[in-house]
Amino acid sequence: MTACAIAGAPAFPPTTTARLVGPRCDRPGQPCQCDGGDGQVGEPPEGFRRFEVRLPAARGTASAVVIDGLGALVRDEANPAGSCFYLDLLVGSTYQVRYLAQAEHRDRGVVAAFSLREAAPAGAGWYDVLHQSCGSRDEPCPYESPADWTAAIRGGHRFHDECGSTELENINIEGGLYDRRFIDVQFTFDLRVRSESPEGPPGSRCRRRLNLAPEGQPPQR
């Protein structure tokens, strides 16, 4: 289920504190080198699955992801290409994930962008879990219809590979307003890493379907 609301500004973490893993992560407290398509991010230990969190560059907006029990992932503002993070999640566990975005200038508004992927076994590619974005280099996220920010989730299978092992639940969007512009955004969801192994290669036809159709209406003023 998806809900939308207007709220106060969320607490923004000052630095990356989550433990990052794999050969692309060699700077403690700093983002990793992004996978360039070769899938060489290493294999997780037994009982874990490896994930990528990607925070693309967003003009005039600071962004971070906080995973309860693991810590914060903060985008490197000095890197115009954005930031990637690789971490291992325990099989059979559920994590609350919060994406945070804050506009640097309140009269400009916020631009939101992040994605989440699950690594396929043996470097066989990626299962798309979530891709969320609104706004652009020149335009902020729209005020009139914040429920549309979940358009990337609508239909489920478009951005949630049914062959992977990840499910999303309890999706919620909150934002703070100034002069009919969103100046901060908090996108929260529960991420469940299923005990069952992935069913097949990314993008293939699998039996598993995720029921992720959002509900709810945009906030009114």
The conformation of residue 105, written as its DSSP 8-state character, comes to S
Quote the tokens at residue 112: 């939101």
What span, in angstroms and rounded, lies between the C-alpha atoms of 148 and 172? 12
Q: Which pLDDT belongs to residue 112?
A: 87
Q: Please check whether residue 41 is in contact with residue 91, taking contact to mean a CB–CB distance below 8 angstroms.
A: no
> Phi-psi region for residue 122, left (φ > 0), alpha (ψ -120 to 50) or beta?
left
Q: Please check whether residue 127 is in contact with residue 166, taking contact to mean a CB–CB distance below 8 angstroms.
A: yes
Q: Which pLDDT belongs to residue 111?
A: 87
Q: Which pLDDT belongs to residue 140?
A: 84
Domain segments of the chain: what residues? 2-193
What span, in angstroms and rounded, lies between the C-alpha atoms of 216 and 145? 11
From the list 50, 197, 203, the residue with the least C-alpha distance to 123 is 50
Q: Which pLDDT belongs to residue 220?
A: 32
CA distances from 191 to 80, 111, 168, 171, 196 (A): 28, 23, 5, 10, 15
Q: Which pLDDT belongs to residue 114?
A: 92
Q: What is the pTM of this model?
A: 0.84
Radius of gyration of the chain (CA): 17
| Element of type H or E holding 176 | strand 166-178
Let me know if 29 is exposed, middle or buried by CB neighbors in 10 A (0-12, 13-18, 19+).
exposed
Q: Which pLDDT belongs to residue 208?
A: 58
Could you tell me the strand order of the sheet in which 83-90 lies? 83-90, 48-55, 112-119, 126-134
The tens place of each residue's pLDDT in the chain, 221 residues long, gives 444 444 455 678 999 999 999 999 988 889 999 998 777 899 999 999 999 999 998 888 999 999 999 999 999 988 888 899 999 999 999 999 999 999 988 888 888 889 999 999 888 899 999 888 888 777 888 766 555 555 544 444 344 788 899 988 888 888 888 887 888 888 899 999 999 888 888 888 886 544 433 433 333 32
